[in-house]
Amino acid sequence: MLCQECQTRQAALHFTKIINGKKAEMHLCDKCARNKGEQIPGSNSYSIHELLSGLLNVEHISGNNGFKPQETEEPRQPVCDRCGLTYERFAKTGRFGCARCYQAFETKLDSILKRAHSGNHRHTGKIPKRTGGNMKVQREMEELREDLRTSIEQEEFEEAARLRDHIRELERKMQSGEEDA
């Protein structure tokens, strides 16, 4: 397939963008992609700053290397009491000022981490296939307990009872030594 821009070189990059709700496909060669300012997979030009800015809902101002945070409904942003870093500044730089910033921005970080870890707010890593049977069950029980707390808070008592019974069953299987819970 030829490059849609120059019509001479082979298209090496295939982009699908959604702009204003409309899907647009582009097929470009490396040179034309660079000229249009497209991000080329495998190039080292993608920074952690851009990744965090995307996760923090910061939009890029075209034609300028600055970043502008999207308007929020909350008038007052959290501030770290140790280093004085504001959440807005963190969103721009993608860096914390000190260790206490994690606690200062805890309420905002939970949603960011969930997006970064595919819905989980905690990194879980891999579990060994041969020796990780109990670890899998323990993680499942932790998730079920969290779901149980949520169900009780939302007064979904039938769901809470089902989760409670499932947790008890898993605990019984772990105590009896059954691997495949």
Residue by residue, DSSP assigns 113-181 as HHHHTTT-SS------TTT-HHHHHHHHHHHHHHHHHHHHHTT-HHHHHHHHHHHHHHHHHHHHT-S--
Same-domain pairing of 53 and 112: yes
More confident residue, 50 or 22: 22
Verify that 112 and 59 share a domain, yes or no: yes
pLDDT digits (tens, 9 = 90+) for 70-103: 554 545 778 888 898 888 888 888 888 888 888 8
Higher pLDDT, 164 or 101: 164
Same domain, 89 and 144: no
pTM, two decimal places: 0.32
55 & 112 share domain: yes
In a shared domain, residues 36 and 72: no
In this prediction, residue 168 carries a pLDDT of 94
- Are 3 and 10 in contact by the 8 Å Cβ rule? The answer is yes
Q: How far apart are CA 132 and CA 152, in angstroms?
A: 30
Our count of domains for the chain comes to: 3
Claim to verify: residue 54 and residue 77 sit in the same structural domain: yes
Say yes or no: 37 and 59 in one domain.
Answer: no
Cβ burial, residue 85 (10 Å; 0-12/13-18/19+): buried
Confidence category of residue 57, pLDDT binned at 50, 70, 90: low
Q: How confident is the model at residue 166 (pLDDT cuts 50, 70, 90)?
A: very high
Quick check: is 125 in a domain? Answer: no
Predicted local distance difference test score (pLDDT) of residue 152: 92
Asked whether residue 124 is assigned to any structural domain, the reply reads: no
pLDDT at 28: 82
pLDDT band at 163 (very low <50, low <70, confident <90, very high): very high
What pLDDT is stored for residue 121 in this prediction?
Answer: 55
Instruction: Please check whether residue 127 lies inside any domain of the structure.
Output: no
- Gap between the Cα atoms of 80 and 99, Å rounded: 10
Q: Domain containing 169: what range?
A: 133-176
Same domain, 52 and 34: no
Report the C-alpha gap between 21 and 38 in whole angstroms: 19
Cβ atoms of residues 64 and 37 within 8 Å: no
In this prediction, residue 36 has a pLDDT band, given cuts at 50, 70 and 90, of confident
Would 123 be classed as within a structural domain?
no
What mean pLDDT is predicted for residues 97-113?
A: 82
Residues 112 and 86 in one domain: yes
What is the structure's pLDDT at 64? 46
pLDDT band at 54 (very low <50, low <70, confident <90, very high): low
Cβ contact 88:94 at 8 Å: no
